[in-house]
Amino acid sequence: MVEAHAVPGPARDRILEAAERVVAEVGAARLILDVVAQAAGVSKGGLLYHFPSKESLLGALAQRYVQNKEQCIEAAKGGFSEQDHSRDLKACIVGILGSDPRSKAMGAALLATAANDLTLLEVIRERLVANNNELAESSADFARAAIVTLAIDGLMMRESLRISPFTEDQRAQVVRELMKIADESYR
């Protein structure tokens, strides 16, 4: 995998946002550097300055995905008491399944990354291992808490693939039940 060495800046961010949009709108198969450059309003040379290859762009999308999810989870923690033992797990539910408008595009970008080269998912794999270790070291019933995280992942992936059959009400019911199970995981 070729790493991008450019310092993050406005053009780099525009390119990543454009790549997310392209993947969300036309799918991973059409993640073509020329199309991304055009969508970002930069020349192909400008895109290649920041991302020397499609793999480096996809790797940056995976990193951005992890950072976005971590930010959403951290923001969601503010909605729960610090004394709430299930705070972190409930923040995962709210942060990942919440109403962040970029969530579906980011999920689609993740799928594009996986479709191209599974080794590019290492940053996501590392985050999942860290989350799993945190869960195992917590006072939670590991199996119940792990089921919550698996359900979060499953719902998020269904929505990213646009195959979720749930109505808004059904989805809300599922999220409420996950919150209950999260609480029960820490009893």
Per-residue confidence at 4, pLDDT binned at 50, 70, 90? very low
Q: What is the pLDDT of residues 45-72, one digit of tens each?
A: 999 999 999 888 988 888 888 888 899 9
Per-residue confidence at 169, pLDDT binned at 50, 70, 90? very high
Each domain of the chain, given as residue ranges in start order, spans 10-184
10-184, superfamily in CATH? Tetracycline Repressor, domain 2 (1.10.357.10)
The pLDDT assigned to 118 comes to 80
> CA-CA distance, 110 to 114, in Å (whole number)?
6
Q: What is the pLDDT of residues 153-166, one digit of tens each?
A: 999 888 887 899 99
Using alpha carbons, list the distances in angstroms from residue 20 to 61, 113, 117, 139, 151: 8, 11, 17, 37, 24
> CA-CA distance, 61 to 106, in Å (whole number)?
8
